[in-house]
A and B are shown apart, each in its own frame.
Chain A
Amino acid sequence: MTYYEEDDLQRFAEIGKHRPDLFEKFMAWYQACQEEGALSRREKALIGLAVAHALQCPYCIDAFSQSCLEAGSNMEQMTEAIHMASAIRGGAALIHGLQSHNSVSRVSM
């Protein structure tokens, strides 16, 4: 057994087996989020791709890569979205450097 199986993506609905009511609520919310609104489907797919990378979820990365293609995005745009997620992750780590600096300052002469 490996921790991530590609076919598990198709089995997602099985999560609803023990509490279908909760899963149905989640699905309704999830589907509503995907609908075109103030943001286009393409923008939402790119956000999904960026978040998938920030979360490093292989299922989401696979699915949202396909969604981006099917929403008309190209590799340049998708790569920029991935860089955005990565840059914010990097920035979020780096800004915590001030926590370290503060901590050091507190005990330094």
Chain B
Amino acid sequence: MATVLPVIQTRFVSGAAIDFDEKLAAHSLELRAASVDTLQINVGKLCNQACKHCHVDAGPSRTEIMTRETAEQVLAVIRRFKIPIVDITGGAPELNPSFRYLLRQCRSLGCHVIVRHNLTVMFQSGQDDLPQFFRDHKVEVVSSLPYFLEHQTDAQRGRGVFEKSIEALHRLNAVGYGVENNELILNLVYNPVGAFLPPAQQSIETDFKRELMNRYGISFNRLFTITNMPIKRFLDYLRRSGNEERYMRKLIEAFNPATVNGLMCRNLVSVDWTGRLYDCDFNQMLDLRVAPELPQTIADFNPEKFAGRRIMTGSHCFGCTAGTGSSCGGAVVQTGR
């Protein structure tokens, strides 16, 4: 991997697009799935926030939302194939009327359930018992908090979000989430507030733990660093701010072949609010569906057919392979830049 240094770039990437698959081939790599351990369910694009970096383009006015009928099809697959991990995302998934039903059913089937919870949704009408609900069902909570300071967080997620997020974290801590010697897992997500790569995960996690405890008395388990993907709202920002070429060059130059084996798409299948299947949530937002030779909807899903499948890629995939890599569980490798 070429070392990306400040000031000095040893290689110049021209304005011409670089193909991700060609990049893999140059490193004698091919991106194929392993087994399907996780079903990531995007239950819709409705959200109480409209974050500037959102690859879903989610917001309060979005109407795309998974129906109970589709949720039942998803549950039938989980039941039939004993999917071990269910990762529920959105939008704010809690705003889907079938969310709690879906979650309860998944837990009764023995799944480990992860909810991508934006923190502020618990202040929406009828959602104030979410911390207790999560606790009662032993859900793993993963929440975005781009920085431990108000200015950066509000710049990305909207005015007033930081203050509400801190209050929400207090409430989660109060029911036992993220507290030492407690099995209730609360992980936070760091996204760069702008067109740059995340710092080393271990280093920034140490900062977050120290600062959130010292400033607010908040604890949590792990911090995941996730690279902003050049998709939808973040791509719009890159273009508006004149940063698109520079950011893409940064991602390409930071390509780290050591990340490829650990990419989330190798163990995950993503299902959208209509039941269509994708290799990841980013492909979902680009309408880049699973390879055409595979079943295209959850009703026809079979994990045996998806194990070993070729992953559909695009230039956005450089976002997951830059530096230490990026996945729903944070950095993929320990060192990379």
Contacts and interface: CB of A to CB of B under 8 A. Distances in A.
Contacts of A45: 6
Nearest to A73: B199
B327 to A, nearest CB: 18
Nearest to B225: A72
Contact of B6 (A10, A67, A72, A75): A67
B36 to A, nearest CB: 33
Contacts of A41: 200, 203
A31 B198 contact: no
B184 to A, nearest CB: 27
Contacts of B6: 34, 45, 48, 60, 63-64, 66-67
A59 B337 CA distance: 20
Nearest to A26: B8
B7 A9 contact: yes
Given A42-B199, A70-B197, A74-B152, A30 B192 contact: no
B207 interface: yes
B149 interface: yes
A75 B147 CA distance: 12
B204 interface: yes
B16 interface: no
Interface residues of B, number: 25
Interface in B107-166: 147, 149, 151-152
Contacts, number: 62
A41 B11 CA distance: 22
Interface in B227-257: 249
A60 B207 CA distance: 26
B5 A72 contact: no
Nearest to B152: A74
Contacts of B10: 13, 27
Contact of A10 (B9, B198, B199): B9
Interface in A31-69: 31, 34, 40-42, 45, 48, 59-60, 63-64, 66-67, 69
A71 interface: yes
Contacts of A4: none
Nearest to B323: A70
The A interface is mostly helix, strand or loop, or mixed, namely helix
B196 interface: yes
A72 B12 contact: no
A10 B12 contact: yes
B7 A63 contact: yes
Contacts of A17: none
A19 interface: no
Interface string B1-38: 00101111111100000000000000000000000000
Contacts of B12: 10-11, 13
A45 B196 CA distance: 14
Contacts of A11: 12
B3 A31 contact: yes
- Taking each of A10, A31, A42, A75, which has the highest tally of chain B beta carbons within 10 Å of its own beta carbon? A10
Given A31-B3, A40-B203, A74-B149, A69 B192 contact: yes
B84 interface: no
B59 interface: no
Given A66-B196, A70-B196, A42 B7 contact: no
Interface in B192-219: 192, 194, 196-200, 203-204, 207
Nearest to A74: B149
A75 to B, nearest CB: 8
Contact of A31 (B5, B152, B194, B196): B5
A3 interface: no
- 10 closest A-B pairs by beta carbon, nearest first, are A72-B199, A63-B6, A67-B6, A63-B7, A72-B204, A69-B196, A70-B197, A12-B8, A10-B12, A70-B196
Given A59-B7, A66-B6, A69-B199, 16 more contacts: A9-B9, A10-B249, A11-B12, A12-B8, A13-B8, A27-B10, A31-B5, A34-B3, A34-B5, A42-B203, A48-B6, A69-B192, A70-B199, A70-B337, A72-B199, A72-B203
Interface of B: 3, 5-12, 147, 149, 151-152, 192, 194, 196-200, 203-204, 207, 249, 337
